[in-house]
Each structure stands twice: as structure tokens, then as C-alpha cells.
Chains A and B, each alone.
Chain A
């Protein structure tokens, strides 16, 4: 038996969190590419904040506003230059109330 997961929207989960977004200064960027590598494509499923998505040309795009700064995408895709990863400026980004 598998357990049905109904109405699961990550956006609703992220809505609980506190963020201080730094407008116009995304801390993660995806390098332009023709078609994404396996790791880059995996991020569209495994980023816990669902920041990565495929556009209609099959390329991976990021909207880093809900990012929890976990570092998973950095571990998978920074070393070969597929993404550029920095911490947000001091004080910005996710602000855990409980952690």
C-alpha cells in the first residue's frame, strides 16, 4: 500500500516561513544552458523549496525567493559551474523562528 498524499503544495509550506528577500540580488544563479545535466534536472524534484523548475524549452530556471539555504544544489551543481551559489547578504534570506 502506498500512502496517498493529497494537495501537497510546497508553496503553502513555505508560506509559514519568514524571509527577508533582497530584491534584485538573487543569491543563486543558473548558468545558461541548452539542455540540463542529470544533476541539474534532479534539482527540479529534490530542492526542498521547489526553487528549480523547467521552462517550456526544457531548461532549468531558478526563483530563489523561497530558498532555505540548505546547500543541496550547491553540493550537486556548483563544482562544474552549472550554478553560482552565494549566501544572501547578511540578515537577508530565510529567518527560522524555531529551526
Chain B
């Protein structure tokens, strides 16, 4: 199909692949990008909060024409039990800045825009093309790919694997292991459409301002999980995700969880009267630092979710994907400029640069969190949320009981359920993992 040899082939047109292809093409490399979807974004799912700084490093004036929904001025973190939520809300007018820091986006639209930028930078982008295999030479160096289109293999000096969390190519070629059920979460999500004014009223925002809610608690039915609600211009993205291993153990159905979340008395009024236009499902890498695979080899690098570069604690993925794509591209451009071959040795620079960036530093900081949360999910997601609700209600009901007795009752409830030792050890372990 394509006879020429490329400087680089990028597999995937998601956040990481677009960043990589854009940077390499902008630096004059001859880039081919292959995407299996009908259009970029047609296979992709995100919450979605997009972080401006990381995109600015790639496309500084992105605000001029990128499809952005709302910039965030308020974030709510809710701990929920069956009938209540206890929340921390942070809202600041400082977020109404000239160049806002975080935006909600709709991935299918955003990916199309990003892909247009990639083409404008000079890369060749082919959609509806699934890459089926990596091609290697006698020395085992990756030298190209095969696709499901007619024709032979396509060759390049280096292949950037930006194939996302389930990444068949890299796992089948033995470049990395398949993610384990306890290192990936399954998330389901719906798009609820409502008139702009209704969203502004319900969330107390105006113009482009937006608000997000993130929720933990009994909504995940003892599994390690998170619910979310993000405001877009004329729609609300709403979803919930839990570890695949927990789903397999409990046999809970994700759509039942999602519907229960939607029907929670704290959520239901926020989406009342909406029209649902899509139901989506996707995996999220949650293994953190310990799950990062080998990142480069002879003729290849891996970026984004395929490399498990996802910060589950802060719900950041797209920015790590964009940044790893950019850094991989800069490393490749550097090797190319020196006229060096794309060997394992020369591509080491990618890992060195990534280790020095916020991507790996953040993941390293929380390296013990995934294991802690996984082994304690029923305490963190059911017991504590119920206790917190009990404590708040006890405090707020005015019924003639002296306050001192109320406080004692709350303390007793915590100790009864979890024991003094349990409480202290959970607190210590959480503090150590957070450190």
C-alpha cells in the first residue's frame, strides 16, 4: 500500500499518539500515524478533564481553536453512603484567569481537532487501519508494522506504540505483559444532555465556568472505585469505575452500579430531565509506578496508557499521555538529528527524560497506594463512608443530647466497627502511602 519508508510510525491517534506525531512532524520528521477508528476519537473514552499546561507545551495557542467545554472553577469531593454525601468543595474565582488551568472536553471532538493539528504539521494520518503486527528484522529490531489493509508491511526507523490501555500489539509481541485484573479499572459512562441554562443554574456557574464532582463510598459496593460527574457546555458526563479484579470477584454489573449512582438522592436532582445520548465503557490503568513496563527497545518506544502511565490517585491520564508522547518524540528527534540509529541504547534517553518529568515522579510518590487501596477496599469504600455519614448526621441533628455525648457516640461507632488498632493502622498506612 505505501512503499516509502518513514522516519517514524505512530500507532494510535489518542492523546499520546497525537502528541508524539505532532512534535515529530513539527520537527520535520516524515511521520505516518495509523488509527483503527473511523475518525480519531471514535474508540476513545475519557471523563474528561484536560490539563492546559501539558497541552500548552505542545500547542501553545490551543485555546484559539480547540473544542473546550468549560473551565473549572469548582471541584467537589464527596464521600457517599446510601442516602447522604459528605463533601469538600473548593471553589475559587482565581480559576477565572486569562489562561485557565483545567477544562472539560468531549474526547471525540477533541481528538478530531488534535488530529487536524497533526496533519497540518505534516504527518500522514490514516484512519480505519488496524495495525495487526510489528515487523522485526533478523536482529529482532522493530522495523515496521503490518496492517489489516491490503499490501505488504510498512517500514520505519522507529515505531511509537500509543495504542492505549489494552494495547494488543505490544503485549502480543512480548514487549510488555498484559495488564492484570487488579491493575486496571473498568469504567462506564453516560452523556446526559441538558440546556446550558439548566446546567448553570444547578451548579451555580455562569458562562464557560464549570464544576466537577468526584465521589467515593458505598456507590462502589465495597469495590475499589470512583464515581464522577463533570459539567460540559450542554451536557453532563457521568460515570463510575472499579477494579476489574473486584468486578470479577463480586460479579456486580457495571450498568447496575451506574444506574444506582444516577438514582442516588444526591445525584438524581442534578441530572433530572436529561436526555442520554451515549453509553460508553473503557479501561483505566491503575497499577501505578509498579506496573510501568519496559518503555523502549530496538526500534520502538511505548507511551501513554499502553505504558500504564496513569495517575489513578489524582485521576490524571491524558496529561501523562500527552507528556510521555511529547518526550518520546523529543527523544526520537534528538537521536535523528545526531544521525544515530534508533537502537535500544540510543532510545534510553526517552526513559531518562521521562524519569525526570512529573510523570514518573508523581507515579513514584504514590507507588504503594494501589496495593493499599486494593487490599482494604471494603474499609475505604464502605465502612468509612458509612461512619462519616453517621458522624456528620449525629453532629447536625439537634435533639437535646449534650454535644459531649454525641462526640463520644461518634468515636464509639468508629471503634466498634474498625477497632482502635484498625483505625490507627489504616491511618498510618494511608499516610505512608501518600507520603
Contact = CB atoms under 8 A, between A and B. Distances in A.
Interface of A: 1-5, 8, 10, 13-14, 16-17, 20, 38-39, 42, 45-46, 48-50, 68-72, 74-76, 78-79, 85-91, 93-99
Interface string B258-290: 011001100000000000111111110000000
Among A3, A13, A46, A99, which residue has the most Cβ atoms of chain B within 10 A? A99
B281 A97 contact: no
B42 A48 contact: no
A90 B148 contact: yes
Contacts of A45: 251-253
A75 B244 contact: yes
A95 B278 CA distance: 10
Nearest to B249: A42
Nearest to A74: B166
Interface stretch (B50-58, B180-188, B362-370, B373-381): B180-188
B251 A46 contact: yes
B43 A94 contact: yes
Interface in B140-194: 147-149, 165-166, 168, 178-181, 184, 186, 188, 190-191
Contacts of B283: 70-72, 75
B281 A68 contact: yes
Contact of A96 (B36, B45, B276): B45
Contacts of B36: 87-88, 90-91
A20 B264 CA distance: 34
A54 to B, nearest CB: 13
Q: Give the dominant DSSP class at A's interface.
A: loop
A96 B280 contact: yes
A4 B268 CA distance: 13
B184 A49 contact: no
B42 A87 contact: no
Contacts of A5: 256, 259-260, 263
Given A39-B248, A70-B282, A99-B107, A91 B255 contact: no
- Highest count of chain B CB atoms <10 Å: which of A1, A4, A42, A96: A96
B149 A87 contact: no
Contacts of A87: 36, 130, 168
A13 B279 contact: yes
Contacts of B86: none
B248 A42 contact: yes
B426 interface: no
B252 A91 contact: no
Contacts of A38: 248
B355 interface: no
A1 B82 contact: yes
9 contacts: A16-B278, A45-B253, A71-B283, A75-B178, A76-B248, A87-B130, A91-B38, A91-B128, A97-B277
A84 B137 CA distance: 27
